[in-house]
Amino acid sequence: MSWTGLFYDPLRALHIISVIFWMAGMLYLPRLFVYHHTAQKGGELESSLLTQERKLLKVIINPAMIATWTFGILLIFANAERANGWSIFASPWWSAKFLLVLAMSGVHGFYAGAQKKFARGERPLSERRWRMLNEIPALMTIAIVLVAVVWLR
């Protein structure tokens, strides 16, 4: 029995768990940025929000993204082995999923940069813009799930 047969299901489960944690954090962080705009500079609320933002990134979002990518790459090799070749990745749906995950990683980097700006006392975007940006990870998550569940069975 190959390593795929032994570890495929636990690997898939770990991947799904890491994706859930990553997306949950990505959905919550811009909401904290919205609240940050209402906080008085140098006040207790701002200090609390900075701590929450930093911990959310360092303890949940960053490790979950790394785990998502790690388990996802291992699943790519496992799926190729199970399908007896790499041709299963030639579909446009695999490309769409990969591009969406790359885009989500870019949004992650943008949010991490914004958190650093907040820590320096800057307010990189308006409260209204953060409210709009709060929806991007949700929309991308829906698209990724649709592609993965509906078209990549």
∠ CA 140-24-93 to the nearest 5 degrees? Answer: 30
Residue 134 contacts residue 28 (beta carbons within 8 Å): no
Q: Mention every residue, 6+ apart, whose C-beta is less than 8 A from residue 88.
A: 79, 80, 94
Provide the pLDDT for residue 4. 64
Spatial separation of the C-alpha atoms in residues 72 and 91, rounded to whole Å: 17
Provide the pLDDT for residue 5. 65
> Counting Cβ atoms within 10 Å, is residue 35 exposed (0-12), middle (13-18) or buried (19+)?
middle
Per-residue pLDDT of the chain (153 residues; tens, 9 = 90+): 576 667 888 888 898 899 889 989 998 999 999 999 889 988 999 999 999 999 999 999 999 999 999 998 888 888 777 777 777 677 787 888 888 889 999 999 999 999 999 999 999 898 889 988 888 878 887 887 777 767 665
DSSP state for residue 40 in the 8-state scheme: P
